[in-house]
């Protein structure tokens, strides 16, 4: 169905246009994923923005994202957060993919020293309370790791510094590969499109899907790498 700017749909028409069900539309309302319609009389009318949103939700669901994660993503977009902030990557101008390095280009030089501890970690270490609690708010799984390291007998500062070095290396991996991965998985299609609001909405969902795929693949690779170092020694 070719929708024009200013198109209006009843809930049944919207569900048909988005290739979904009326029940699903109502569930998305209840879960906070879809804005309320414009109610006139006793009938709710939906616009092209609602249709774009429904199509985005369907694409994200088809790639394995859960409704809670999709809601958080959409809320961030609605707040006007930048794509980099929403997706957790460096602020790369996806609409100008000509700046993306081609495969095989020289990679950035490896950092020679780990970054300083974040300010909130330094403050937590200087305070009388448990420094892991402050760390866990921002990095819950990293907070669990630092706690286990301290339980193993190393100082809190050494634990935080070790995890921050790990973070620095993870940031470097993202710096090396995120731009190319996101360009090939999302930006390239957008570059070849008419860059309409509908194309922009598709770019946003494609970037979210790309992040999901890349994160899962990277997690698998890191797990394999750590597994190689966790084998028991010969008896």
- The reported pLDDT for the residue numbered 86 is 55
Kindly state the percentage of the chain with pLDDT values over 70.
Answer: 77
- The reported pLDDT for the residue numbered 112 is 45
Query: Any residues with CB less than 8 A from the CB of 103 and at least 6 apart, and which?
Result: 180
- The reported pLDDT for the residue numbered 142 is 85
- Residues 70-118: pLDDT tens digits? 887 777 777 766 555 555 544 444 444 333 344 444 444 444 454 577 7
- The reported pLDDT for the residue numbered 45 is 92
pLDDT-based confidence at residue 129 (cuts at 50, 70, 90): low
- The reported pLDDT for the residue numbered 128 is 64
**Does 147 have pLDDT greater than 70?**
yes
The CB density around residue 19, as the number of other CB atoms within 10 Å, is 10
- Residues 17-62: pLDDT tens digits? 988 899 999 989 888 889 889 888 888 999 888 988 888 888 878 7
pLDDT-based confidence at residue 153 (cuts at 50, 70, 90): very high
Residue 43: C-alpha distances to residues 12, 32, 79 (Å): 11, 20, 28
User: By CB neighbour count within 10 A (0-12 exposed, 13-18 middle, 19+ buried), where does 207 fall?
Assistant: buried
Residue 7 per-residue DSSP state? -
- The reported pLDDT for the residue numbered 108 is 46
Summary mean pLDDT of the chain: 77
- Residues 185-203: pLDDT tens digits? 888 888 888 888 888 888 8
Kindly state the percentage of the chain with pLDDT values over 90.
Answer: 9
| 39 bridge partner residues | 44
The CB density around residue 136, as the number of other CB atoms within 10 Å, is 16
Helix (H) or strand (E) holding 49: helix 48-62
Lowest mean pLDDT among 28-37, 89-98, 162-171, 221-230: 89-98
**Does 169 have pLDDT greater than 50?**
yes
């Amino acid at each position: 169905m070719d929708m024009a700017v200013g198109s209006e749909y009843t809930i049944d028409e919207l569900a048909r246009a988005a290739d979904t069900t009326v029940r699903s539309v109502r569930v998305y309302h209840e879960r906070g994923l879809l804005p309320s319609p414009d109610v006139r009389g006793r009938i709710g009318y939906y616009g092209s923005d609602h249709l774009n949103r429904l199509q985005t939700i369907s694409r994200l669901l088809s790639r394995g994202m859960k409704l809670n994660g999709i809601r958080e993503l959409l809320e961030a977009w609605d707040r006007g957060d930048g794509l980099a902030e929403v997706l957790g990557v460096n602020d790369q101008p996806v609409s100008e993919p000509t700046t993306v390095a081609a495969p095989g280009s020289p990679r950035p030089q490896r950092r020679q020293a780990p970054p300083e501890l974040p300010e909130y970690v330094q403050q937590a270490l200087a305070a009388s309370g448990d420094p892991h609690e402050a760390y866990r708010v921002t990095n819950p799984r990293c907070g669990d790791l630092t706690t286990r390291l301290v339980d193993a007998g190393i100082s809190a500062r050494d634990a935080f510094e070790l995890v921050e070095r790990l973070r620095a290396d993870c940031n470097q991996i993202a710096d090396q590969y995120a731009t190319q991965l996101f360009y090939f998985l999302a930006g390239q299609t957008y570059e070849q499109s008419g860059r309409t609001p509908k194309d922009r909405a598709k770019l946003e969902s494609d970037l979210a899907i790309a992040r999901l795929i890349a994160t899962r693949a990277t997690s698998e690779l890191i797990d394999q790498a750590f597994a190689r170092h966790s084998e028991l020694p010969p008896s």
